[in-house]
Structure 1
């Protein structure tokens, strides 16, 4: 049985049905099973890792997908150690390409520490290091719905965005087939696109023009605080990570195609799938 943490998150909501389709038995952790809309074929269990009885949650599991909210190294280390005690044979951890590039921003550092804990826990392990998610472009929803415009910091680098379904497909492979023990996989899309190119692709999917607006970092910071209510510290963290990841965002890895035997899903496909979300909501 496969125990999936983060079962209702960006990756988890694709991973759970993919594992079930592959014939695996799945236990999915969620804070509120009634609201979570977990695939009914899975065993949905209520739990919060800060208060959960880990031995009970892990009872009967032989493989675990490790992903925690806030990417807490302490929390993931606790899961890895408890999994080892419970007799789990394989841990698959979702990390970030920032670790591959040796980035020192807080998110990459936390993932690096958690990776180390997973490697040292005892069971076999596989590390998945995706780059920037295509789903991050949902951050443009508000301005597109209201103004048909996208505001982008002038420092935004080209990015080899990855589709979360590709991440879930690789995770499914690692969790259900052998040969991935001790492997670390960097995962990106197949091409690096500038923000302007991304906006043009999205406009085509929406069937209407979008205004592309470059703004200073200071203006972007103010927008995130004012429009989205982000705490100033979170905004600082985001831009610290962007500064570090900038030169690395455009690097394309061939891992998805190598493992899945097909090209990575494109941003154009993602835009078509999600076009309806960008229409003005009455």
Structure 2
């Protein structure tokens, strides 16, 4: 049995069906099964990592995909220890490329500490370190639909964005085969695109011009809090991460092709798959 934490998140939504398609038995954790849209082939378990009896929750799971809300090092360390006590034999931790580059922002530090806890817990482990997700561009959805415009912070760097299905595909192999134990994988897409190039690709796929607007960080921060409901500390953490990763987001790792035996999915493919999400709202 494979226990999947973060089953309703960006990676988890792709990972659960990928594991099921590979023939694995999957147990997926969610706080609210009634609202969660989890593949019906999976066993869905209700629980909260902060209040649950973790060894009991993980009992019967021999492999665990470790991803927690807020990337709390303490929470993930507790999961790793509980998984070991419950008899798990393999932990797969979702981290970030920032750890590879030695970044010191709060998000990356938490991942680095959690990685160490995973390695020390006892079971075999695999660490996945993806870069920025293509799905992050859903943050542009409202402004594209309502204004045919994309607003980004000034100086936003070129980024080797990765498709979450590629992350899920690598995680599936790590969780279902023995060839990836003790491995640490940096995962990116196959090309680095500037934000303007990403907007141009979306514009071409949607068949209409989209304005690219670079705005000061203060305006971008206000937009994230007002429009998207981000708390101030999350916004500060995001920009701290961006400042540290800016010079490295363009770095392309060949891991996806090496592990999967095919090129990574590209941003144009992602844009075509998700074109309906950006459909224009006539009349505002």
TM-score range, shorter chain: over 0.9
Q: CA deviation at 1:34?
A: 1.8
Give 2:279's aligned residue: 279
Gaps of 5+ in 1: none
Please give the residue correspondences for 1:90-169 in structure 2 after superposition, counting only pairs within 5 Å: 90-169=90-169
State the TM-score, normalizing by the size of structure 2: 0.97
Inter-partner Cα distance in structure 2 for 1:4 and 1:122: 19
Deviation at 1:33, TM superposition (A): 1.3
SS at match of 1:159: coil
1:150 match: secondary structure: strand
For each residue in 1:24-83, what CA deviation from the matched residue of structure 2 results, as whole angstroms up to 9, or x when unmatched?
111110111122121111110001100112122211111000000000101100010011
| 8 A contact 2:202–2:268 mirrored in 1 | yes
| Partner Cα separation in structure 2 for residue 229 and residue 256 of structure 1 | 33
Q: Which shows bigger deviation, 140-149 or 217-226?
A: 217-226
Pairwise CA distance, 1:233: 2.5
Task: Give the distance between the partners of 1:135 and 1:275, measured in 2 at CA.
Answer: 12
Whole-Å Cα distance in 1 between the matches of residues 118 and 145 of structure 2?
42
CA–CA distance in 2 between the matches of 1:51 and 1:226?
31
Deviation at 1:134, TM superposition (A): 0.3
The match for 2:45 is 45
Question: Deviation digits for residues 69-126 of structure 1, max 9, x if unmatched?
Answer: 0001011000100111111000000000010001011100000000000000000000
Q: 2:27 matched to 1:27?
A: yes
Q: For structure 2, which runs of at least 5 residues remain unmatched after alignment?
A: none
The TM-score normalised by the length of structure 1 is 0.97
Q: Bigger shift: 55-64 or 93-102?
A: 55-64
Residues 132 and 159 in structure 1, CA contact (< 8 A), matched pair in contact too: yes
Alignment partner of 1:103: what SS?
coil
Q: Which string of whole-angstrom CA distances, capped at 9 and with x for unpartnered residues, describes residues 187-228 of structure 1?
A: 000000000000000111111110111122232223223333
Following superposition, the deviation at residue 20 of structure 1 comes to 0.7
Q: CA deviation at 1:281?
A: 4.8
